[in-house]
Structure 1
Amino acid sequence: MVQVQQAFSSYSVDDLDTAENFYRDRLGLEVRRTPMGLELDVTGGSPVFVYPKGAAHRPANHTVLNLQVADIDAAVFELAAAGVDLLRYPDFPHDDAGVVRSDDPGSGPTIAWFTDPARNVIGLIQA
């Protein structure tokens, strides 16, 4: 069996400076610039690595990062105040704020989605 010491996720962006500003200034995450890209500290543990790919970048067709929050309504309000628009998928019943709410724990999380400037999808999930 492979003995994993640590794990981290990674995905690309088309413009590292724009991504750094978005994650730091709009989302309020701790961002550290490295020679290879950005490290996002989202949990105080394993970082998320964001690397530049320039014109070769293609946004993933799935959610690349999920951020758990205690109060999704407050988080959605803060995102809107920072100029971040939520995505609305046609197959999900969004409320007026753009949140898909689950009253039944077995039917899925209370969640909203938005994109970063490179069009990568980020999920916001109520913990």
Structure 2
Amino acid sequence: MLTNTKAYSGLAVHDLQEAKRFYSETLGLRTSQEYGLMWLHLAGGRDTLVYEQPAAVPASFTILNFEVDDIDATVHALSARGVRFERYEGMSQDEHGIFREEGPYIAWFHDPSGNVLSVLQEKQLHTTAHLGLQTAQQLGSGRPRHPQRHIQDPDPRRPPRTGDPRPSHAMGPDGPAPERSATR
């Protein structure tokens, strides 16, 4: 019934004007407002609705992930703009708050309403030509393909989550089903 319906995410903030300053000036996102609501215009046409709800309880899980090419440079630049990166007990994060173990490199921070956001970078293939291995750029995608992403929830009381970018019907009983070839 909703297969071909455009969908978008929404998030609640305590103060819309404060959120506008944070998302547009601090994070550098393009925003627009209409009918007392704000839109975050994200790359890839994935706009997100932001609405004011003074009594809203902030999300305690990551609600918006920003995939970046260079997490170190991004964390440095955002820190210079006043963003404070979170440190979570029991997580192996470096001095800048970046978690580099399983899954993508990731660093978490909060918006002014306390919602959890993150910047993340897919791990690069570290190979050398003399071993006959290919880098992500040589493979043509600009980054490695990961059949399954493992993004750990920053709340250490929760078990780690695994996410797969393919639809649920692509999952087999033992995990991701093999990808189908475009040729027969």
Same fold (TM over 0.5): yes
Shift of 1:50: 0.8
The answer on 1:77 being equivalent to 2:76 is yes
Identify the match of residue 110 of structure 1 among 105, 112, 129. 105
1:71-121 CA distance string (max 9 Å, x none): 00010011111000001111210101110013xxxx222100000000000
Distance in 1 between residues matched to 2:17 and 2:48, nearest whole Å: 16
- 1:126 aligned partner: 121
Any unmatched runs of 5+ in structure 1? none
Q: Aligned partner of 1:94: which letter?
A: Q
How do residues 1-127 of structure 1 correspond to structure 2 at under 5 angstroms? 2-54=2-54, 56-102=55-101, 107-127=102-122
* Greater relative CO, 1 or 2 (CA 8 Å, sep 6+): 1
Counterpart CA distance in 2 for 1:33 and 1:2 is: 26
- Code of the residue aligned with 2:119 in structure 1: it is L
* Residue in 1 that maps onto 2:167: none
Aligned residues between the structures: 122
Equivalent residue letter for 2:103: G
What percent identity do the matched residue pairs reach? 40
- Matched to 2:51, the amino acid is Y
Could you say which structure has the larger radius of gyration?
2
Q: What RMSD over aligned residues (CA atoms) do the two structures have, in Å?
A: 1.3
* Aligned-residue offset at 1:9: 1.1
The Cα offsets for residues 31-71 of structure 1, whole Å up to 9 and x where unpaired, read as 111214111012140201111001x1110121111111010
| Residue pair 1:6, 1:46 contacting (<8 A) in 2 also | no
**Cα distance in 2 for residues equivalent to 1:58 and 1:41:** 24
- Secondary structure of the residue aligned to 1:87 is coil
